Amino acid sequence: MGASHYRAWAALVPPGVEVCAVQLPGREGRLREPPYRQIGPLLEALLPALAPKLDRPFAVFGHSMGALVAFELVRALRRAGGPAPRHLFVSGHIAPQLPEPGAPVHVLSDAAFVDEIRHRYDGIPEAILRDPEYLQLFLPTMRADLELIETYDYRPEAPLDCPLTAYGGRQDPRTSEADLDAWRVQTSGPFALRLFPGGHFFVQSDRPALVEDVTRRLAAER
């Protein structure tokens, strides 16, 4: 999911809230740049790029792989003595201390990989599936995302201090309510869990309700 997904958020948030989406390599305007396959190098690039933006109150939101990246980014900021977010929002991913279920997918052949991604996430648009050349442009990034998730090595640290909210789709076959509730051990602050209708991409199908919940929680903390 590229940064353009979050453009629609800008029209849904109240005045005084700015949406700053991060476009990772391998997506949209950066499609031909090599995607990150490990979370360590990605964090090393993100920290200096985001540092100038963190001189004001901020929150962090991440969906799916982005939930892991958001979580580890906040921990990396803490280790570096940087500012803490007012809130961490994680979405569509099991808690980081839980083992990734199932056998690795990123090592499969292209055909088997596509079949498994469709089964797990229903996350490849039909227009892409019908165009083999177009599909080949997207496969390296999808495969890299799965490699990053499947090679992620959780290392225990003290819980975060900031509030943490976990979101999920009720019909997401890869992320149960218990998987999401397990995020609560990652904060010593307030924790909340909310489920929305839909599957893994409820962030698109239920976008207005999701954004309303995010902004309501931020407003309550002012």
Residue in 64, 91, 109, 188 annotated catalytic:
64
Domains in the chain: boundaries: 3-98+156-220
Buried b (16+ CB within 10 A) or exposed e, 138-148: beebbbbbbbb
Instruction: Please list, in sequence order, all residues whose beta carbon lies within 8 angstroms of the beta carbon of residue 178, skipping any fewer than 6 positions away.
Output: none
Q: Which pLDDT score, from 0 to 100, does residue 114 have?
A: 87
CA distance 153 to 155: 6
Domain 3-98+156-220: CATH superfamily is Alpha/Beta hydrolase fold, catalytic domain (3.40.50.1820)
Q: Tell me what pLDDT residue 123 has.
A: 65
* Average confidence (pLDDT) per 10 residues, the chain, 222 residues: 84 92 90 92 95 93 96 97 96 95 85 84 74 85 93 97 97 93 98 94 93 95 74
Rounded CA gap, 149 and 213, in Å?
A: 27
pLDDT of residue 29: 85
CB-CB neighbours of 185 under 10 Å: 14
Cα separation, 129 vs 57, whole angstroms: 41
| pLDDT at 58 (0 to 100) | 96
Q: What's residue 20's pLDDT?
A: 93
Q: According to the model, what pLDDT value does residue 73 have?
A: 98
User: What local confidence, expressed as pLDDT, does residue 1 receive?
Assistant: 64
205 is catalytic: no
Kindly report the number of other CB atoms within 10 A of residue 211's CB atom: 22
How many whole angstroms separate alpha carbon 191 and alpha carbon 186?
9
